[in-house]
Amino acid sequence: MTATGEEGAMGIDTDAYRHVIGRLAKGVAVVTTTASGHHHAITADSVTSVSLDPVLLLVCVETDARFHDAVLERGEFGVSVLAASQRAAAVWFSTPGRPLPGQMDRTPHTLTSSGIPLLDGALSTLECVVHDVHPAGDHSIIVGEVRAARLSGDPTPALVHFRGQYSALP
């Protein structure tokens, strides 16, 4: 790695690390919950399958994000795996400082039976309950037990994140 930015606790250049890990193409999802009378949402490229027995997935959430406390308060969340056509939603839900009230208004969505928003047009959706939480630096690894999983019938390209950019993957 090159010495181009701030060093982390172990002497690793964090800017260089960000560029290196950015070479790992990742799918993009919007993770949602509802708490204290508001819908909360974040864009995540750190959603990963963990186990099939029980069916578990994980999402990494920054501890300073308002979503972090909301999902822990609620104890359940939804995951909408984005289609390439949903790039605007990915950008919106990753915008720091966006207003909490009405943040879901510009994105078509449907509420689950428990009131969690899932994005319309997503390639797939999952409904999860918080199974475990592990502290990990400035993030928490939130492990969710999947209670429902649905596939879209539309075989559109997926939205992926690579080198700091969004693009489509057939």
Residue 3 is predicted with a pLDDT of 39
Q: Choose between 122 and 1: higher pLDDT.
A: 122
Q: Is the pLDDT of residue 67 over 80?
A: yes
Which residues have C-beta within 8 Å of that of residue 105, sequence separation ≥ 6? none
Output the average pLDDT for the chain. Answer: 92
Measure CA of the first residue to CA of the last residue in the chain; give whole Å: 32
Torsion region of 37: left, alpha or beta (phi above 0 gives left; psi -120 to 50 gives alpha): left
β-strands 165-169, 158-162 pairing: antiparallel
Whole-number Å distance between alpha carbons of 127 and 113: 10
Residue 6 is predicted with a pLDDT of 58
Q: Which of 24-28, 57-61, 93-97 has the lowest mean pLDDT?
A: 24-28
* Average of per-residue pLDDT across 69-86: 97
* Average of per-residue pLDDT across 75-87: 97
C-alpha 28: how far from its chain's center?
Answer: 7
Q: pTM for this one?
A: 0.90
14-162, CATH topology level: Pnp Oxidase; Chain A (2.30.110)
Q: Give the model confidence (pLDDT) of 17-41 as tens digits.
A: 888 888 888 999 999 999 999 999 9
Whole-number Å distance between alpha carbons of 46 and 26: 8
Q: What is the dihedral of CA 147, 134, 27, 30, to 10 degrees?
A: 60
The residue behind tokens 């909408």 is: 80
pLDDT band at residue 4 under the 50/70/90 scheme = very low
- DSSP class of residue 157 equals P
Where are the chain's structural domains?
Answer: 14-162
Residue 100 is predicted with a pLDDT of 93
Q: Is the pLDDT of residue 2 over 70?
A: no
Residue 8 is predicted with a pLDDT of 56
